[in-house]
């Protein structure tokens, strides 16, 4: 559709020019021909651009500047019709409003004919006169609203969210106490005389001859430590004389 852009614009421009000329003739303009209407448009466009540039240098308020940007071409073109095309003021104002209305309708028809989205095209055109910041702000607010809605939908309440702050604080303190009270099991050295307290636990003992054994202390009988070891051949019970133990450790 890009190849039809220029032809469609030319057709829309020519149609608007012809309709404006026809309407000017109905309004008893002394110079209603298309050539004079075109000259009025050209002169009005140049004067409007100059006025808008001058306004942008002195007007600080954004809303006022946007309003004057839209009104300036309408006012300047009305004066041009009045002076150049020899119309009275009512005819000049009516012709100016009619020309703008027909131009807007023609522009919309061209945009739709080219298959372009009307809203995005209008936004791009509005950016040229300083409206893009306001539009972007509105879009940002809409995006934020959608994001908040999505975040709201994603929230799931747990049992803890329904508890009072005092209860939550008490539970946290309890967790801290339980965490502190937990001790990681490890081998601890005990005396041979207190070996009875290691019955049922895993022990590691070093004999006086240098050998080290590990196993489960099943019981103490007749001055011997009865240690069970899980070897490849199965469970083996070994009696170890208390007098031969140099060091005894229990895993707990």
Please spell the DSSP secondary structure of 105-148, one letter per residue.
HHHHHHHHHTT--HHHHHHHHHHTTT-HHHHHHHHHHHHHHHHH
Cβ of 163: how many Cβ atoms within 10 Å? 13
Q: What is the pLDDT of residue 195?
A: 87
**What would the two tokens of residue 53 be?**
């540039």
160-172 average pLDDT score: 74
Instruction: Write down the residue that tokens 């003992």 correspond to.
Output: 205
Q: Of residues 132 and 15, which shows the higher confidence score?
A: 15
CA angle 104, 32, 91 (to 5 degrees): 70
φ/ψ bin of 115: left (φ > 0), alpha (ψ from -120 to 50), beta (otherwise): left
Q: What is the pLDDT of residue 119?
A: 66
Q: What is the pLDDT of residue 137?
A: 47
For residue 73, CA distances in Å to 10, 77, 80 come to 21, 6, 10
In the chain, the percentage of residues whose pLDDT exceeds 70 is: 78
Q: How far apart, in Å, do the first and last CA atoms of the chain sit?
A: 83
Q: What is the pLDDT of residue 249?
A: 93
Q: What is the pLDDT of residue 135?
A: 46
Reported confidence tier of residue 78, pLDDT bands at 50, 70, 90: confident
Domain boundaries, the chain: 2-116, 187-251
Reported confidence tier of residue 127, pLDDT bands at 50, 70, 90: low
Q: Of residues 200 and 116, which shows the higher confidence score?
A: 200
Q: Which of 110-114, 186-190, 201-205 has the lowest mean pLDDT?
A: 110-114
Q: What is the pLDDT of residue 40?
A: 87
Asked whether the beta carbons of 81 and 29 are under 8 A apart, the reply is yes
Reported confidence tier of residue 97, pLDDT bands at 50, 70, 90: confident
Q: Which of 66-80, 162-176, 189-203, 232-246 has the lowest mean pLDDT?
A: 162-176
Going by CATH, does the domain composed of 187-251 fall within 2.30.30.100?
yes
19-45 average pLDDT score: 86
Q: Residue 123 pLDDT > 90, yes or no?
A: no
Cα separation, 233 vs 202, whole angstroms: 19
137-166 average pLDDT score: 58
Reported confidence tier of residue 138, pLDDT bands at 50, 70, 90: very low
Q: What are the DSSP E strand ranges found in the chain?
A: 187-190, 202-207, 212-221, 224-231, 234-241, 245-251
Q: What is the pLDDT of residue 124?
A: 65
CA angle 27, 28, 30 (to 5 degrees): 130
């Amino acid at each position: 559709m890009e190849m039809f852009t220029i032809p469609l614009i030319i057709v829309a421009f020519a149609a608007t020019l012809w309709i404006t000329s026809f309407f000017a003739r109905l309004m008893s303009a002394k110079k209603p021909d298309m050539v004079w209407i075109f000259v009025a448009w050209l002169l009005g466009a140049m004067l409007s651009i100059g006025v808008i540039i001058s306004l942008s240098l002195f007007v600080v308020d954004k809303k006022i500047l946007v309003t004057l940007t839209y009104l300036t071409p309408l006012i300047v073109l009305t004066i041009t019709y009045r002076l150049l095309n020899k119309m009275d003021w009512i005819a000049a104002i009516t012709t100016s409003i009619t020309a703008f209305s027909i131009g807007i309708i023609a522009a919309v028809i061209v945009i739709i004919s080219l298959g372009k989205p009307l809203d995005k095209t209008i936004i791009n055109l509005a950016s040229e006169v300083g409206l893009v910041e306001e539009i972007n702000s509105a879009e940002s607010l809409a995006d934020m609203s959608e994001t908040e809605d999505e975040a709201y939908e994603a929230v799931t309440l747990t049992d803890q969210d329904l508890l009072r702050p005092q209860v939550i604080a008490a539970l946290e303190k309890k967790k801290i106490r339980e965490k502190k009270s937990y001790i990681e099991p490890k081998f601890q050295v005990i005396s041979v005389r207190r070996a009875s307290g290691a019955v049922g636990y895993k022990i590691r003992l070093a004999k006086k001859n240098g050998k080290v054994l590990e196993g489960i202390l099943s019981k103490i009988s007749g001055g011997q430590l009865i240690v069970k070891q899980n070897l490849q051949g199965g469970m083996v019970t070994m009696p170890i004389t208390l007098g031969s133990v140099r060091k005894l450790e229990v895993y707990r």
